[in-house]
Amino acid sequence: MSYDTATKTDPESIIPEEYGGMWFLKDELETDHLGFSVLELEPGAEGKAHDESETGQEEIYYVVSGTVEVELEGETLALETDELVRLDPDERRKIFNRGDERAKLVLVGAPL
């Protein structure tokens, strides 16, 4: 088959529902070189601080709805709906929803 389909909730969320949800869709889409995830954060919730220096994976965060802040070393980026950021693998990052509404992001990473 030359394509695969999935829905966000095919895999179980890796974070508790009260914080929002995060769904890794790589396996459902059977991607070999690309990671694809959906992250939803409730107001006051935050993601995990991490970098991808061990994997060499760069990431792009696209804000589908809401606003988030991405804390980097020495800088905080505020992103609103339809804004994106690309991050080098060695850039330590952490996402926060300090807004009043649920934020929804699409996260893409490559290479795997």
pTM, two decimals, is 0.94
Please tell me the total count of domains within the chain.
Answer: 1
- 14 touches 26 (CB < 8 A): no
- Report d(CA 107, CA 71) in Å as an integer: 16
pLDDT tens digit at each of 112 positions of the chain: 699 999 999 999 999 999 999 999 999 999 999 999 999 999 999 999 999 999 999 999 999 999 999 999 999 999 999 999 999 999 999 999 999 999 999 999 999 8
How does DSSP classify residue 18? Answer: G
**Is residue 15 situated within a structural domain?**
no
Which CATH number is 33's domain given? 2.60.120.10
Range of the structural domain that residue 46 is part of: 23-104
